[in-house]
Structure 1
C-alpha cells in the first residue's frame, strides 16, 4: 500500500527495531517535550527544506460557519467562542511567576537593528512557541506585516523561522501546522521563505502517534509517549486530525540552523552536542533516529530535547559559548523555556491579585549571548514574533 505525499508516492514500510539499549531517562518535565519516531525512510534531498505542502494546506480552510465574518480564516481555526468538540482546556494551565506587588511587570525592550540583511536577502524573523494558539499566531504575524488580512504571505522575500512547539495545550495545533506548511509554499513563491525547527512537542506528538502505550526505558521507571503527551497538554482533537503528511513534515524538520550569525534552536540545552559536532551532523543524526523508529532511542531524544535552563544562572554564558564554538554564530535564539520562568520564581496561576507578569518582547540574557523567544502564550503571556538582529 502506498501513501500519497504532495503528489508523490512513497512506499510505506514497517519500522525496524534495532534493539539498541539507551540508558538514562528522566521524569516528565513541565512545559515542553517532543516527539517520537518516523515510520518509513526519510530521505534528505535538495528540495527537503522547501517543506512540500499537501494540496489541502495550500488554501485557507473555511470556517465551520456560514458567517462571512469568520470565513476564510487561515488554517483550521474554529469560530470564535466555539472550541472544537473534545478540546481539553489546558490553555494557560502552567504556573506563572509572582514578582511582587500588584502591577509588577516584566518589561523587555528590544528593537530590530536597521542594518540590511547580508547579500540583499530579506529581513529575518523568528517566532516563539505557538502551542496550538492559532488565533494569536495569525494576529502576531499580521501585526508584523508578514501575512495579509486573508492570512496569505505578504512579506515578499522576508525570511521567517519558527522555533518549534506547534501543538499541545492550545485548541488548534493541527491548524497551526497547516498554516505554517501553506505559508512555506507562498513565501517560496514570493522569493522569501518560511521554515521551522523541531521542538520537543513535535517529538512528543510523533511518539504518541507512532508508539502509543509502548513502554520505553526511563530513568524514572517505565514510561510511554502516550502518557507523556496527555500529561503535557496533548489534545484529542489534534490526534484525530493528525495525518501522515503532518507526521512526515514534523519528522523532516531540522533541529538546529544558523542564520545571519544567529544560532537558532528550540531548547535551551547543550544536549544538541550529544548528536553531533556540526549542524549538519546534528540534523542528520536526529533524522536517522526518527527514521529507525526505535521507541527507546526516540524517547531518549525527546528526553534530552526537553531539558532546559542551561543558559541561565552562573554557568549560562559558558554553556552558550560551548554551543557557539561548536556550531557557529554569535548569539543563540531559542524557545522552549517561557520567559517568566527565566526571570524569577514560579508562583501560582490564580491571577486574582493582578500580579501576573507582562512579557512584551524577547529576553536577552547570558551576557547578551542568548535570546529567549517563548513569551509564555500558554501562561497568559504573549506569542512573540521578532525581527533579528536585535539592538539591546
Structure 2
C-alpha cells in the first residue's frame, strides 16, 4: 500500500500532486526505451537504459501484512474518520437512466447491451450495439498499444497519443486498425478525469469505425469513483473503522468537478469495464496483485464476478472489492516471479502488463536527492522479465506512458 492510495485518516489540503513518503524493498528490473531515431521495431523496445535496485523505507510496519499475498495485503491503523463539509450521498437520487440525478449510482439496466467491451456512449437505453469489425481473411490485427494510469491528466494523454501517431492534431483517431488497451485509473488527482473518460469513449467509437479498437480495464480508482457516486457517505465496514467511499475518494485525490460532471452514460460505461484481459500473450491487469485469483479461475469468471458484484451487491461488498484491487507490489522481490507465474498459469499469457504501482516507487527514482522529478525513460520490466509496469507516475511529475507491445 503506497501513500497515494489512502483510507480515511487526516485530510490532505489539496488533491493535486504532492510529495510521496519513502517506500522499501524494491524489485530488480530494467527499463527499455525506444530508439529515438528508428521508432518502434517489430520487437518493441530496443535499448537497455537502466538497471538497478531501489531502496529506503516501506510503510509495511504501519500496514501489517495479512492474507494470501503475504506482504501485500494491508491494513490501516487509522481510526474512524469524520470530516465536515462532505457533499450528501448521491445514492438517494433517482437513477439517471430513468430521468434522475446524473450522479446517481449504477444499478441494473436491462436495456444496456450485454457486453463488457468499450463502445460508443449509450445516448439512450436500448440503443443498438455495433460490435467491433474483425480482421478480414488473412488480415493480421493491427499493432497493440497499452496506456498506463492517466489520473485526470488529459493534456498529457493527448500529447502522448499524438506522439505515438494514434490521434491527429484535433484529437481524433488516426491509427487505423491499431488496438489500444487502457490499464485503468482515468480519474482522481489530475484536473479532468471526466475529460479523459470522454476522450477514451470517443476513441472507442472512432477506432471501431476504422477497424481497430480502444478498450480499457477497470482500475481501483474506477471502483472508488463509482462507489463515491453510488454510496457517498454511507458507512462501510473497514479495517480502519467506520469509513465511506466518499471520504476515501477525496483522500485519494477525488476531484469534485469530476463527480459533478458524472453522467448516466459514464456510469454505464465504467460499470461494464473488464477487470482483466489477454491480448497477444500479454495478461493485462490494472493492479500488481494476485487478488484476481480470489474472483475466478478464468478471465471470464473474474470479469463476470466483478460485474455481478457491481450490479447486485451492497456497499460492504463493493468496499471489499476496492480494497482487494488496491493491493500492490505482489510481483516485487524474490517471491515476485512466483506470483506472476501463478497468474499466468491460471489465466494464460507469457507476461503480465500492469499499471497501479508508480514506476518511481518500483525503481527508487522517487528518492532523488537533488529534488528533481523522477526520470522515466519507458516501461519497467522486472520479476525475471515476466512483468511490465506501465504507471509512469504522472501524478508525481513522472511520465504518462503509452507504449507498443511487445516490449
- TM-score, normalised on structure 1? 0.72
2:278 aligns to what SS in structure 1?
strand
Aligned ranges 1:239-250 → 2 under 5 Å: 239-250=259-270
Cα deviation, 1:179-203, whole Å, max 9, x if unaligned, reads 0001000000000000000000000
The question of 1:171 aligning with 2:239 is answered no
Is the Cα contact below 8 Å between 2:74 and 2:327 reproduced in 1? no
1:202 aligns to what SS in structure 2?
helix
Cα deviation, 1:18-47, whole Å, max 9, x if unaligned, reads xxxxxx984399xxxxxx973224788565
Cα deviation, 1:77-125, whole Å, max 9, x if unaligned, reads xxxxxxxxxxxxxxxxxxxxxxxxxxxxxxxxxxxxxxxxx96000000
Is the Cα contact below 8 Å between 1:25 and 1:217 reproduced in 2? no
The question of 1:358 aligning with 2:407 is answered no
Structure 1 residue 220: Cα displacement? 2.1
Structure 1 residue 276: Cα displacement? 0.3
**Which residue of the partner structure matches residue 313 of structure 1?**
333
In 2, distance between residues paired with 1:287 and 1:54?
A: 18
Choose which of 388, 394, 399 in structure 2 pairs with 1:377.
Answer: 394
In 1, distance between residues paired with 2:189 and 2:328?
A: 19
Runs of 4+ in 1 over 6 A off after TM superposition: none
**Which residue of the partner structure matches residue 386 of structure 1?**
403
In 2, distance between residues paired with 1:234 and 1:261?
A: 34
In 1, distance between residues paired with 2:317 and 2:297?
A: 19
Q: Aligned pair in 2 of structure 1 residues 344, 41: CA closer, same or farther (>3 Å)?
A: same
**Which residue of the partner structure matches residue 12 of structure 2?**
none
**Which residue of the partner structure matches residue 51 of structure 1?**
119
The question of 1:195 aligning with 2:215 is answered yes
In 2, distance between residues paired with 1:274 and 1:253?
A: 18
Is the Cα contact below 8 Å between 2:185 and 2:219 reproduced in 1? yes
| Residue segments in structure 1 that go unaligned for 5+ positions in a row | 1-23, 30-35, 57-117
In 2, distance between residues paired with 1:43 and 1:274?
A: 30
Structure 1 residue 52: Cα displacement? 3.4
| Residue segments in structure 2 that go unaligned for 5+ positions in a row | 1-72, 79-90, 92-104, 125-137
Higher relative contact order (CA 8 A, sep 6+): 1
CA RMSD of aligned residues (A): 2.3
**Which residue of the partner structure matches residue 17 of structure 1?**
none
Choose which of 147, 160, 169 in structure 2 pairs with 1:149.
Answer: 169
**Which residue of the partner structure matches residue 308 of structure 2?**
288
- TM-score, normalised on structure 2? 0.69
In 1, distance between residues paired with 2:111 and 2:146?
A: 27
